[in-house]
Structure 1
Amino acid sequence: MRQRGTPYVWGGTGNGGYDCSGLMLRAYRKAGIHLPRTAAEQYHAFSRKIGWNQLKPGDLVFFSGLGHVGMISKPGYMVHAPRSGDVVKEEKLSEWRRQAFVGAVRPDPKGVRQWAKVLERRKEPAPPMLTATL
């Protein structure tokens, strides 16, 4: 909440500005939880999804095809970095937001560790392909 008024900066993770996922990354890092960088990765980092009616403060909420993320600040409100030309702000969850809602997660260290393992496996080289000889 102390970042309210900080400018939106595409790709920003602090020191002058934030984008939506960069703000969540920094907030959770302060709590000792390391999130992936992008909104889509943050959503997929946790297998347990939270429904609209179960949202609690601290939950990450995702909108518009995983193109945007915010954090529930209190019942019915979220804090987020909305878009270029705007600033970090707290906003009431509107009917429009509900229609754009994709899902939510409740970050925990165990979930992030599981996501890190998936990412590590993706970095491993593919097994060699068999080739036919004539």
Structure 2
Amino acid sequence: MANLPTPAWKTALAYAMDKRGTPYVWGGASKSGYDCSGLMLRAYEAAGIDLPRTARQQYGAFSKKIAWNDLKPGDLAFFSNLGHVGMISKPGHMVHAPRSGDVVKEERLSEWRRSAFVGAVRPDPSGVRRWAEILDKRRAPAPNMPTATL
């Protein structure tokens, strides 16, 4: 059997799990520290998938949403009005950068997390490309409009 490439989610998950113990740093996206979305950004970047920077943008980058009961390893799960993101590591667990004063860790998905759950996405390159196209259109200058002259 031919050597198949490692699925992106496995590469991303291995990256995130390797960062356990790294300090939480607000706005961080490097080995010196991560915030929640910075960790997801770098994990999927290691897998060849470019994500937007913030949790809200990461959620919006994909049109297909994943329900709580359908979560799989590698999925990005969003909580607290899109204020937090973690990656599903195994059934009932996620790896994430929780808060200031804490470190990247794997934790069990508690009932509190379930009550704060907004939705999840399963990152794929095509979803991010569509998001990038939408952002490019939003950033484009408005077309010149004809003006009436007297």
- Which of these residues, 72, 81, 84, is aligned with residue 65 of structure 1? 81
Tell me the alpha carbon deviations over residues 83-111 of structure 1, each in whole angstroms, 9 at most, x when there is no partner: 11110000000000000000000000000
Q: Give 1:43's aligned residue.
A: 59
- Which of these residues, 84, 89, 103, is aligned with residue 87 of structure 1? 103
Identity of aligned residues (%): 78
- What is the alpha-carbon distance in structure 2 between the residues aligned to residue 65 and residue 133 of structure 1? 49
Tell me the alpha carbon deviations over residues 16-56 of structure 1, each in whole angstroms, 9 at most, x when there is no partner: 00000000001001111110000000000000000000000
| Matched pairs, number | 134
Which letter does structure 1 place at the counterpart of 2:41? L
Over the residues paired in the alignment, what is the CA RMSD in angstroms? 1.3
> Which sections of structure 1, spanning at least 5 residues, go unmatched?
none
Which letter does structure 2 place at the counterpart of 1:113? R
- What is the alpha-carbon distance in structure 1 between the residues aligned to residue 81 and residue 29 of structure 2? 21
- What is the alpha-carbon distance in structure 2 between the residues aligned to residue 102 and residue 131 of structure 1? 46
Scaled by the length of structure 2, the TM-score of the pair is: 0.85
Please state whether the residue corresponding to 2:29 is helix, strand or coil.
coil
Q: Give 2:18's aligned residue.
A: 2
Which letter does structure 2 place at the counterpart of 1:29? E
Q: Is the helix fraction higher in 1 or 2?
A: 2
Report if the CA contact (8 A) 2:20-2:106 is conserved. Answer: yes
Q: Determine if the alignment matches structure 1 residue 11 to structure 2 residue 27.
A: yes
Please state whether the residue corresponding to 1:87 is helix, strand or coil.
coil
Q: Give 1:22's aligned residue.
A: 38
- What is the alpha-carbon distance in structure 2 between the residues aligned to residue 127 and residue 26 of structure 1? 36
Q: Determine if the alignment matches structure 1 residue 115 to structure 2 residue 131.
A: yes
Report if the CA contact (8 A) 2:82-2:118 is conserved. Answer: yes
Scaled by the length of structure 1, the TM-score of the pair is: 0.95
- How far off its partner does 1:123 sit? 1.1
Q: Give 1:78's aligned residue.
A: 94
> Which sections of structure 2, spanning at least 5 residues, go unmatched?
1-16
